[in-house]
Structure 1
Amino acid sequence: MTIAVSPNGLPALVLNADYRPLSYYPLSLWSWQDAIKAVFLDRVNIVAEYEHEVASPSFSMRLPSVICLKSYVKPPRYPAFTRFNVFLRDRFECQYCGSSHELTFDHVIPRCHGGETTWDNIVAACSPCNFRKGGLMPAAAKMWPRQKPYQPSVQQLHTNGRLFPPNHVHQSWLDFLYWDAELEP
């Protein structure tokens, strides 16, 4: 799965005050308009720039490609319980067959058997597996998830998110993302 990031949109990679991306997946990007506004409000420092410029009759500046917040934003310890984060935890794969198509989520212990909608009971599942399992318990359906569902940390989701880089990564971002970047001796 890839996230479409248009290189023509010239987004700015947003780093926290410690020079780490605010998030990896989705990648923390601001539009060039929001980045310039933050520069003028003195909320960010420009770390790298594009070749493109914006201009008014009395002023011109190159568009920022990487910006760093001046104030540190403490990341949450635990991520929000969302469908997207469940898919990210499970690496966008059905936990029964491994498919990455037609993903939905499944209650391992069905609600009709007292199962709750929590991190510890929800897994990513493709529609065919979810339909096949239905309201059955795992033993009755002879279907067990590949991994036991759990509440991930933000760091675990960031680690998984690095497996799915966006389809456009500007050269100036590589030093901050650590995706396929070759280190110079």
Structure 2
Amino acid sequence: MTIHVSPESCPALVLNADFRPLSYYPLSLWSWQDAIKAVCLDRVNIVSEYDRVIKSPSFEMRLPSVVSLKDYIRPARHPAFTRFNVFLRDHFQCQYCGSRDDLTFDHVIPRSKGGRTTWENVVAACAPCNLRKANRMPSEIKMFPHQAPYQPSVHDLHNAGRAFPPNYLHRSWLDFLYWDIELEP
């Protein structure tokens, strides 16, 4: 019995030249078309393949499941200050009540009281907590974040991203996603 697998269900995990994923969350994935194009342009090495074969009149190859870049891309030294990265740093949960629903962000020291929009003053917050805190200082309303806001390193965000794996992980990816995690004795 032959099972038809759509090429769309065969993304390629993209590794840097040092065999670490370019990104953990969102996971660095390319469509099968982009992976094939990179192979043809000699920009990547194929590390692992799916059983799925694509064919044209003059060409046939198995779809890559893991590719590594030939040229090393130096990771950013400091992650960008974005809403997504604040949520990732805070593990996608309100820093006041722990809820994972209806997230927004809150200025610990309100902007109306001189607080700035920086890593060190912004936390993930659910809408109800954000509305309850409003423009008050944490000490006024006795609402303190579970974790003090801080500027994360790229390493911090990679570690946080590992806690949120995508819905689908191909078995050929697992060795590359978790090989640098410290092993327990």
- The residue aligned with 1:96 is 96
Alignment of 1:10-159 (within 5 A): 10-159=10-159
Alpha-carbon distance, 1:167 to partner: 1.1
Higher relative contact order (CA 8 A, sep 6+): 1
Contact 1:94/1:124 (8 A) holds in 2: yes
Contact 1:49/1:65 (8 A) holds in 2: yes
Output the CA distance in 2 between the equivalents of 1:111 and 1:51.
Answer: 55
Contact 2:86/2:124 (8 A) holds in 1: yes
TM-score, normalization: structure 2? Answer: 0.92
Q: Secondary structure at the match of 2:152?
A: coil
State the 4+ residue runs in structure 1 displaced beyond 6 angstroms: none
Structure 1 unpaired stretches of 5+: 1-5
Output the CA distance in 2 between the equivalents of 1:7 and 1:139.
Answer: 55
Q: Secondary structure at the match of 1:128?
A: helix
Alignment of 1:156-171 (within 5 A): 156-171=156-171
> Structure 1 residues 83, 55: CA separation in 2 closer, same or farther (over 3 Å shift)?
same
Count matched residues.
176
TM-score, normalization: structure 1? Answer: 0.92
Q: Secondary structure at the match of 2:61?
A: strand
Output the CA distance in 1 between the equivalents of 2:63 and 2:7.
Answer: 13
